[in-house]
């Protein structure tokens, strides 16, 4: 992910259960408006950044069809004798891909629709009224597709196996640490920096905590906002995020897998909790929380620590904003994101070195173990990246 994906800072968008759906509380939508729009109005750089990302949503179909054309061309280019040896009709496959692209595009348009006004509407030479031509960089096309794929991890039944291994131990630690019912009544606050598509934040709220996500990527913010605020039932949308790769596939039908999201009715689930609340704050973690001191009961970092330019600054921020006696729960690898990125600082510490720093700030590491897991993986793919993650809990003792 890119540094400063979003520089915006917004007040928490309260997704608490009483104002959960825009449709149930239209005022909520009218006053807030699309995420990032209001904040970026007076900041041309931020506005253009947001526009670039929204362009990737609007241009998904065009960008994807360009790849399909290449695939079509390649199939066409081979000799007839090779085509005859194929067990399948490649033209049918191409048509199936096009249909899947359309399916995904319809979904992405729903997310991007509120941002339509950012784009000029022009009259084409054919007389058609169209949106100004959008130019999306390859890196944004990749990000758009990986965001689409991330819906599997966070919001589908297929993502359950990953969530069970990664999110479940965190939820268990939280429940155990705050098991005294009385503490729940006080409203235990849990912060999740790098909240991604928001599932962990939502699961923590379901347990009755005051759960706040923080995220700086507009890809994530727009998508999580949509799923958290605009879905009204289980399995409301069908997407096919795997159609962009036919590599490492055992079964030719696998890339066409239909993914239903969300895998539960969020409103129905959240309404069951008396104390649970959700909010999301947009912006860079250290920057957004630098003025907060001793106010969080818990901080949960899941596949987040290695996204830092300077991981020590993350530890310092976590230390500063956590209450004495608060618990930090972490799971993730140390795959430093800025390694080998030119002009980007990247402080790469081993787990032992990092532990020394964590202890030095005033944390007591209560537990530490290895958890083997994948991240946004395709279960039946021939290729799997497996992380032996460090899972630890640390209590701020001074």
Ligand X SMILES: C[S@@+](CC[C@H](N)C(=O)[O-])C[C@H]1O[C@@H](n2cnc3c(N)ncnc32)[C@H](O)[C@@H]1O
Two tokens, residue 136 = 């999306």
Work out whether 193 is an interface residue with ligand X (CB under 6 A): yes
Binding-site member from 115, 216, 226, 392 for ligand X (CB under 6 A): 216
First to last CA, the chain: 34
Range list of β-strands (E), the chain: 13-14, 121-123, 129-131, 189-193, 210-215, 237-239, 259-261, 277-282, 296-302, 322-332, 363-373, 387-396
The one-character DSSP state at 127 is S
Count of residues engaged in binding ligand X, rule: CB under 6 A = 18
Work out whether 5 is an interface residue with ligand X (CB under 6 A): yes
- Do 241 and 145 meet the contact criterion of CB atoms below 8 Å apart? yes
Nearest residue (CB) to ligand X, 361 versus 375: 375
Nearest residue (CB) to ligand X, 191 versus 243: 191
Binding-site member from 214, 231, 279, 317 for ligand X (CB under 6 A): 214
Work out whether 196 is an interface residue with ligand X (CB under 6 A): yes
Two tokens, residue 49 = 């950044």
Stretch that binds ligand X, among 64-72, 90-98, 140-148, 187-195 (CB under 6 A): 187-195
Burial class from Cβ neighbours inside 10 Å (0-12, 13-18, 19+) for residue 275 reads middle
Shortest distance, position 375 Cβ to ligand X, whole Å: 7
Shortest distance, position 353 Cβ to ligand X, whole Å: 20
Give how far the C-alpha of residue 94 lies from the chain's centroid of Cα atoms, to the nearest Å: 29
Stretch that binds ligand X, among 24-32, 49-57, 210-218, 265-273 (CB under 6 A): 210-218
Work out whether 215 is an interface residue with ligand X (CB under 6 A): yes
Binding-site member from 111, 204, 205, 220 for ligand X (CB under 6 A): 220
Work out whether 261 is an interface residue with ligand X (CB under 6 A): no
User: Residue 204's closest CA among 113, 298, 135, 133?
Assistant: 298
Question: In 3-state terms, what secondary structure has residue 227?
Answer: helix
Place of tokens 């901080």: 299
Shortest distance, position 378 Cβ to ligand X, whole Å: 15
Work out whether 15 is an interface residue with ligand X (CB under 6 A): no
Nearest residue (CB) to ligand X, 21 versus 219: 219
Place of tokens 């957004």: 288
Two tokens, residue 265 = 């009715």
Work out whether 217 is an interface residue with ligand X (CB under 6 A): yes
Stretch that binds ligand X, among 20-28, 94-102, 216-224, 320-328 (CB under 6 A): 216-224
Return d(Cα 174, Cα 194) in angstroms, integer: 18
Nearest residue (CB) to ligand X, 284 versus 297: 284
Nearest residue (CB) to ligand X, 203 versus 215: 215
Phi-psi region of 231 (alpha: psi -120 to 50; beta: other; left: phi over 0): beta
Query: How many residues belong to the chain?
Result: 398
Near ligand X in 285-314, by CB under 6 A? 285, 302-304, 307
Return d(Cα 276, Cα 184) in angstroms, integer: 9
Shortest distance, position 155 Cβ to ligand X, whole Å: 11
Shortest distance, position 125 Cβ to ligand X, whole Å: 40
Return d(Cα 324, Cα 289) in angstroms, integer: 17
Return d(Cα 34, Cα 373) in angstroms, integer: 35
Nearest residue (CB) to ligand X, 56 versus 101: 56
Stretch that binds ligand X, among 15-23, 109-117, 213-221, 258-266 (CB under 6 A): 213-221
Residue 107, φ and ψ in degrees, nearest 5: -70, -45
Work out whether 227 is an interface residue with ligand X (CB under 6 A): no
Stretch that binds ligand X, among 192-200, 262-270, 322-330, 381-389 (CB under 6 A): 192-200
Shortest distance, position 178 Cβ to ligand X, whole Å: 21
Shortest distance, position 253 Cβ to ligand X, whole Å: 27
Return d(Cα 390, Cα 374) in angstroms, integer: 13
Cα angle 379-144-332, degrees, rounded to a multiple of 5: 50
Per CB under 6 A, residues contacting ligand X are 1, 5, 153, 193-196, 214-217, 220, 284-285, 302-304, 307
């Amino acid at each position: 992910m890119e540094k400063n994906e979003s520089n915006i800072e917004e007040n928490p968008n309260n997704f608490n259960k009483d104002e959960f759906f825009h449709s149930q509380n239209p005022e909520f939508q009218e006053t807030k408006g699309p995420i990032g729009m209001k904040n970026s109005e007076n900041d041309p750089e931020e506005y253009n950044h947001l526009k670039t990302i929204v362009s990737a949503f609007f241009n998904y179909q065009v960008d994807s069809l360009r790849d399909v054309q290449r695939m079509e061309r390649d199939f066409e280019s081979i000799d007839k004798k090779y085509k005859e040896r194929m067990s399948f009709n490649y033209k049918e496959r191409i048509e199936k891909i096009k249909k899947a692209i359309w399916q995904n595009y319809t979904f992405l348009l729903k997310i991007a629709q509120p941002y339509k006004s950012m784009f000029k509407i022009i009259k084409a030479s054919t007389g058609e009224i169209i949106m100004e031509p959008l130019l999306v960089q390859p890196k944004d096309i990749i990000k758009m597709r990986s965001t689409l794929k991330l819906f599997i991890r966070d919001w589908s039944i297929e993502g359950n196996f990953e969530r069970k291994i990664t999110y479940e131990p965190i939820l268990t630690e939280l429940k155990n640490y705050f098991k005294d019912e009385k503490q729940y009544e006080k409203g235990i606050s849990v912060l999740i920096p790098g909240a991604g598509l928001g599932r962990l934040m939502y699961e923590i709220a379901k347990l009755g905590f005051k759960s706040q996500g923080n995220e700086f990527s507009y890809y994530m913010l727009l998508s999580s906002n949509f799923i958290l605020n605009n879905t009204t039932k289980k399995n409301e949308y069908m997407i096919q995020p795997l159609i962009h790769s036919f590599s490492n596939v055992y079964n030719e039908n696998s890339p066409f897998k239909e993914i239903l999201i969300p895998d539960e009715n969020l409103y129905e689930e959240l309404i069951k909790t008396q104390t649970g609340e959700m909010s999301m704050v947009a912006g860079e973690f250290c920057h957004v929380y630098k003025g907060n001191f001793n106010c969080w009961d818990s901080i949960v970092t899941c596949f987040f620590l290695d996204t830092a330019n300077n991981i020590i600054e993350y530890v310092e921020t976590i230390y500063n904003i956590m209450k004495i006696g608060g618990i930090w729960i972490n799971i993730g690898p140390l795959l430093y994101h800025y390694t080998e990125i030119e002009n980007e600082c990247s402080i790469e510490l081993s787990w032992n070195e990092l532990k020394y720093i964590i202890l030095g700030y005033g944390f007591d590491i209560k537990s530490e173990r290895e958890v083997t897991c994948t991240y946004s993986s395709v279960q039946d793919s021939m290729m799997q990246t497996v992380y032996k993650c460090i899972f630890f809990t640390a209590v701020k003792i001074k």
